[in-house]
Amino acid sequence: MEFGKPQVGERLRLGLRNLYIVPTRFGWFWLAGLVLLQVVAIQLQSNGPLLLSFLMLGLVLLALHLTHFNLQGLELAAADPQPGHAHTGLAYPLRLHCPGRCEGLRWRFGQEPLGPVLTLAAGEHQLNVPWTPRRRGLQRPGILRLQTTAPLGLFICWSRWEPTVPQLVYPARRPGPVLTLPQASADEPSSTAPVDRQEGSEEWRDLSPHRPEDGSSRVAWKLVAQGRGRYAKRFNDPSQATPWLAPDPTVPFERALEHLSEQICRLHGRGDSYGLVLGSERIPAGRGLAQRQRCLAALARCRTDPGGR
């Protein structure tokens, strides 16, 4: 059951105007039992059932206020969410300020399952609420529902809030064909300098058992000093052309972006250098985490098909 419109904004403070409370199913049974005892006491002219019914009524009134006080005064703010891929579970960070001890808190975005029951002490907290985006781009997770039934489970108190801070969502990872352009066709020179194979160079990508023909300049002396044996460094081949990736024109554009997302993650995992071409936008060739994030962000923010499909 939902009452009223959800609050919208970057921050929210819970109070009388945005908190709702109704009896739980157990609470309705409790109230029905209370009424039944009142009827029995009146019919039998007995003080025992009457006193028990008043005790149950007192617990109902106490639980009503305690459950409401669990959330009253709680302050929420959206933190800076980290990007992730569509169709995978992402974490949306929230900053919380609890004026007092909050018990039995549960959270969810939209139709996601409710999270585990949490008890928060007074003070500042950060909570990561899971959600699953369905599309790429700058996405908002939707309406957050927070609720509690503590301490007696007779009432459920909740509020609804829609944070406005968006989260960058990369295209989902889907294996498939990717258009690979030669460097000359990319119409922009690579920004990656030739690999230096001189002694002391750090541009190596793998290790293998040392062979006599490898020479002493390729020995991983740091591992030798650690007593881990003699290994030779294996360097990138500078004669191998740097791939420039582009959407495959033979598949739908959104799926082509998902194929590019998978290929970029694979190349990053291997430590390879690559560039990206999206219509008039060209990301210079490079490697590393910054290059991966730059390319995936370009895929996420691409509004239209550069090829006009």
As a whole number of angstroms, the distance between CA 201 and CA 274 comes to: 21
Residue 30 has pLDDT above 50, yes or no: yes
Residue with tokens 């499909």: 309
Q: 225 is in which domain, residue-wise?
A: 196-235
Residue 17 shares a structural domain with residue 153: yes
Q: How confident is the model at residue 309 (pLDDT cuts 50, 70, 90)?
A: low
Residue 153 shares a structural domain with residue 176: no
Residue 116 shares a structural domain with residue 54: yes
Sheet of 244-246, strands arranged across: 179-181, 244-246, 274-278, 281-286
β partners of residue 127: 94
pTM equals 0.75
Mean pLDDT of the chain: 85
pLDDT in tens, 102-124: 999 999 998 888 999 999 999 99
Residue 230 shares a structural domain with residue 271: no
pLDDT over 70 percentage in the chain:
82
Residue 253 has pLDDT above 50, yes or no: yes
Domain count, the chain: 3
Residue 163 shares a structural domain with residue 14: yes
Tell me which residue of 116, 136, 139, 142 sits closest to 127, measured CA to CA. Answer: 116
Residue 200 shares a structural domain with residue 302: no
Residues 42-54 have a mean pLDDT of: 89
173 in Cβ contact with 262 (< 8 Å): yes
As a whole number of angstroms, the distance between CA 291 and CA 293 comes to: 6
Residue 156 shares a structural domain with residue 29: yes
Residue 151 shares a structural domain with residue 69: yes
Residue 195 has pLDDT above 60, yes or no: no
As a whole number of angstroms, the distance between CA 245 and CA 166 comes to: 28
Q: What is the pLDDT of residue 98?
A: 95
Between strands 20-23 and 123-131, the pairing is unpaired
Residue 201 shares a structural domain with residue 292: no
Residues 138-161 have a mean pLDDT of: 94
Residue 201 has pLDDT above 60, yes or no: no
Residue 219 has pLDDT above 90, yes or no: no
Domain end position, chosen among 209, 235, 261? 235
Domain end position, chosen among 117, 134, 169? 169
Residue 151 shares a structural domain with residue 268: no
As a whole number of angstroms, the distance between CA 222 and CA 202 comes to: 12
Residue 162 shares a structural domain with residue 285: no
Q: Choose between 215 and 277: higher pLDDT.
A: 277
